[in-house]
Structure 1
Amino acid sequence: MFTVYAISSTVRKYVYVGLTSDLERRIHRHNSGYERTTKPYRPFVLIFQKDFPNRAEVREFEKYLKTTNGKREILGL
């Protein structure tokens, strides 16, 4: 099982979209500063998640969420 997720910084205007097979561990890594791309924007809250049965499907949806229309969908705009 794979999950596509979006997290939002609680201190700055920043949304990160990613995929993982262990969501709890991945969010912990973001909030602990282990991920270079998100370290300056900590802490984060989970704002979106969707599960997929295989990596190919989750990767395709992740690509969509990283587009302008995908981010609008996440943020409800």
Structure 2
Amino acid sequence: MPYTYILYSEKIDKYYIGACTDMQRRLYEHNIGHSKFTKTGMPWTIVYTEEFDTLLQAKQRELQIKKMKSRKYIEGLISVR
């Protein structure tokens, strides 16, 4: 199942937005330093997910959230859940 997800790092007090088809595998990759950006914030925790029918839809939603460029918007999404 494709997902759009938001991770949070308490260490650097930042959110990371992404899309994938295997949420557990992707979280594992972030927490072993697979990505240059997320390497600095380990450990990451999942704070928000949305499920989609296709990966394309999940990536479109990822871009929509990123375009908001707003921590308030992200925290609003998280608090609704």
If the TM-score is normalised by the length of the shorter chain, which range does it land in? Answer: 0.7 to 0.9
Q: Name structure 1 gaps, 5 residues minimum.
A: none
| Shift, 1:2, TM fit | 0.5
Q: Percent identity?
A: 26
CA-based RMSD: 1.8
- Give the TM-score of the pair, scaled to structure 2: 0.82
The 5-angstrom pairing of residues 22-61 of structure 1 reads: 22-61=22-61
Q: Deviations over 1:28-54 (max 9, x none)?
A: 111111211210111111111001001
Q: Name structure 2 gaps, 5 residues minimum.
A: none
Quick check: which one's helix share is greater?
2
Q: Deviations over 1:43-74 (max 9, x none)?
A: 11111100100122111111111123665333
8 Å Cα contact 1:48/1:74 also seen in 2: no
Amino acid paired to 2:19? L
- Give the TM-score of the pair, scaled to structure 1: 0.86
- Distance between the aligned counterparts of 2:69 and 2:37, measured in 1? 22
- Distance between the aligned counterparts of 2:53 and 2:22, measured in 1? 13
8 Å Cα contact 2:12/2:41 also seen in 1: yes
